[in-house]
Amino acid sequence: MRDRDNWDAKPVFVDGKYISKDAWFDRDGKGFQPQVHYFVGGATKLYGAALYRLRPGDFGEVRHVSGISPAWPLSYDDFEPWYSEAERLYQVHGNAGEDPTEGHRSEPYPWPAVSHEPRLQQISDDLAKGGYHPFHAPCGIMLDEAHRPMSTCIRCAWCDGYPCLVHAKADAEIIAVRPLLNRPNVTLLTGAEVIRLETDDSGRTVTGIVVSRDGNREVYRGDIVAICAGAANSAKLLLNSANDRHPNGLANRSDQVGRNYMFHNCKAVAALSKERNDTIYQKTLGINDFYFATKDYEYPAGNIQMVGKSNAEAMRGEQPDLTWFAPEWGLTDTARHSVDFWLTTEDLPIPENRVTTDKDGHVHLTYSPTNAEEADRLYEELKKILNHTGMAAHHVFRKNFYMDMGIPLAGCAHQAGTCRFGTDPAASVLDTNCKAHELDNLYVVDTSFFPSIGAVNPALTAIANALRVGDHILSRIT
């Protein structure tokens, strides 16, 4: 996946070149193409590399308008050293101390925050004047602003949603896979789909990993097996691996495999103002003032951050009738003047929101939104920000245009939760080391383990957890 199309909005956003050809089905059995990415490095090849830690409060029980976000079996303090290691490994740029909701840190960010470009600096200054606490968003890009000619990252506009052409994004392939490939005990098989796990007669040990590769069936073996196929596909694999000892699917005596699917209440919002926004790399700003509550609302509303800068081609892909709001502008003008926000509200792990598989093994996804009122609140807070701080009336073109794009079921970028970890085998799939309660050598190490998802992007937590679990596995084999 390294070619000129990487940085071209039409193949990426309009033609969906890097979206898998997989088909999933909704609750009514209607097929759809999920926005999943089956590459070495997974979805991180296309991610925005906004590498946030969960807030300490996210690890506890949080009361939401639609119910309770459950506590994790481990605390922020348990994760903190692994967050630091993950930030070091993924070269996260940030500035500690600006965001009042962040947890304590044992180490500073390994890299200074990515600077705001002038329009974003202006917005940040205006927000601060308005009494908000904007912060420099944590970014996993290999940008060395002090030595720009030597910097691997060229600070371009093709980051969020595009694979990096110059390998400067801290994605899982570049950071965690490639550097290991020359080791004698590492083998990477591509084009290999795991279709089933086999166990011994006791059902306690995975003895075979059945793979479909180039049309052939192959079986691999290992003393310890970790599945990391993403929240939906890890659940799919366990469910499709039912046998006599595990009639409801592997490791599924609790009936929790596939349940509690979460993917955030997300909304992309383009705010149009009279001023041009010539920002190239826009993902430098975040606001968590509404994360746990707002001034007049007791429930958590969520996180506001920036999304990659709109361009006309990408807008065409996202919403063909976008210019309905500003008919006198073409898409190019609309994109040039837009400031693009990404709003995230936590969704709840409810058992009815779940992945199941049919007789042919295909994923069926049943999902009903939760905390929609909180997501509406966050949107209202964004409008207040835009109206009452920097982008006040004289800045906004004629009147305020907010063009919001809700993310439908297929937009499963932040999928999590289908194999939650916990201490109670009756209520969770994995133990606190992410080992299946019912098996001795099976681990699930991706976003499936999340018992709740918070309202910040999930990847850094998945990375920190993988380092934590890796350390545990190492202690078993050395």
Nearest C-alpha neighbor of 180 from the set 40, 274, 322: 40
Q: Is 38 in the site for ligand FAD (CB under 6 A)?
A: yes
Tell how strand 111-112 and strand 93-94 pair up.
parallel
Which is nearer to ligand SF4, 159 or 385 (by Cβ)? 159
Contact residues toward ligand SF4 (CB under 6 A) are 141, 153-156, 158-159, 164, 166, 168-169, 281
Binding partner at 153 among ligand FAD, ligand SF4, none, C-beta below 5 to 8 Å by kind: ligand SF4
- Exactly one of 291, 446, 455, 464 binds ligand FAD (CB under 6 A); that residue is 446
Q: What angle do CA 90, 94, 97 make, to 5 degrees?
A: 135
Residue nearest ligand FAD by beta-carbon distance: 42
The answer to whether 230 contacts ligand FAD (rule: CB under 6 A) is yes
164 binds, among ligand SF4, ligand FAD, none (CB under 5 to 8 A by kind): ligand SF4
CB 317 within 8 A of CB 13: yes
Q: Applying CB under 6 A, which part among 34-42, 202-210, 309-317, 381-389 lies near ligand FAD?
A: 34-42
Q: Is 48 in the site for ligand FAD (CB under 6 A)?
A: yes
Contact 120, 282 (CB under 8 A): yes
C-alpha to C-alpha distance for 227 and 193, rounded to whole angstroms: 12
Q: How many residues bind ligand FAD (CB under 6 A)?
A: 30
β-strands 401-406, 442-444 pairing: unpaired
Distance CA 110, CA 108 (A): 6
Residue 161 interacting with ligand FAD (CB under 6 A)? yes
Site stretch for ligand FAD (CB under 6 A), options 24-32, 81-89, 230-238, 393-401: 230-238
Q: Which does 43 bind (CB under 5 to 8 A by kind): ligand FAD, ligand SF4, none?
A: ligand FAD
Q: Tell me the backbone φ, ψ of residue 471, rounded to 5 degrees.
A: -65, -40
**Cα–Cα distance for residue pair 3/178, rounded to 1 Å:** 18
Residue written as token pair 């795991």:
194
Examine residue 139 and tell whether it contacts ligand FAD (CB under 6 A): no
Q: Is 134 left (phi over 0), alpha (psi -120 to 50) or beta?
A: beta
| Nearest-angstrom CA–CA distance, 435 and 108 | 31
> Is residue 237 part of the contact set for ligand FAD (CB under 6 A)?
yes
Q: Is 120 in the site for ligand FAD (CB under 6 A)?
A: no
What is residue 455's three-state secondary structure?
coil
Instruction: Tell me the two tokens of residue 47.
Output: 């991610």
CA–CA gap between residue 74 and residue 92 (Å, rounded):
23
Q: Which of ligand SF4, ligand FAD, none does 462 bind, CB closer than 5 to 8 A by kind?
A: ligand FAD
CB of 280 to ligand SF4, least distance (A): 8
Residue type, 435: K
Rounded least distance, CB 6 to ligand FAD, Å? 13
Residue nearer to ligand FAD on the CB measure, 236 or 395: 236
Q: Is residue 112 classed as helix, strand or coil in its secondary structure?
A: strand
Question: What would the two tokens of residue 278 be?
Answer: 């010539």
For ligand FAD, the binding residue among 12, 49, 270, 306 (CB under 6 A) is: 49
122 class by beta-carbon count within 10 Å (0-12 exposed, 13-18 middle, 19+ buried): middle
Residue 281: which of ligand FAD, ligand SF4, none does it interact with, CB under 5 to 8 A by kind? Answer: ligand SF4
34 part of the interface to ligand FAD, by CB under 6 A:
no
Of ligand SF4, ligand FAD, none, which one sits near residue 230, judging by CB under 5 to 8 A according to partner kind?
A: ligand FAD
Residue 414 lies near ligand FAD (rule: CB under 6 A): yes
Least Cβ distance, residue 154 to ligand SF4 (angstroms): 5
CB of 219 to ligand FAD, least distance (A): 14
How far apart are the two ends of the chain, measured CA to CA in Å? 36
Helices (H), 9-93: 9, 76-89
Q: Minimal distance in Å, beta carbon 97 to ligand FAD?
A: 21
Closer CB to ligand FAD, residue 126 or residue 160? 160
**List 12, 46, 315, 455, residue binding ligand FAD (CB under 6 A):** 46
Nearer to ligand SF4, 141 or 331 (CB): 141
| Separation CA 103–CA 464 (nearest Å) | 15
Closest CA to 459 of 170, 52, 137: 52
Least Å distance between CB 156 and ligand SF4?
Answer: 4
457 binds, options ligand SF4, ligand FAD, none, Cβ within 5 to 8 A by partner type: ligand FAD
Cα dihedral 160, 166, 168, 171, rounded to 10, equals 60
Q: Is 458 in the site for ligand FAD (CB under 6 A)?
A: yes
Give dist(CA 14, CA 304) in Å, integer.
25
User: Using CA atoms, how far apart are residues 65 and 69, in angstroms rounded to an integer?
Assistant: 10
Candidates 9, 12, 50, 176: give the one binding ligand FAD (CB under 6 A): 50
- Contacts to ligand FAD by CB under 6 A: 37-39, 42-44, 46-51, 161, 193-194, 228-231, 233, 237, 413-414, 446-447, 457-460, 462
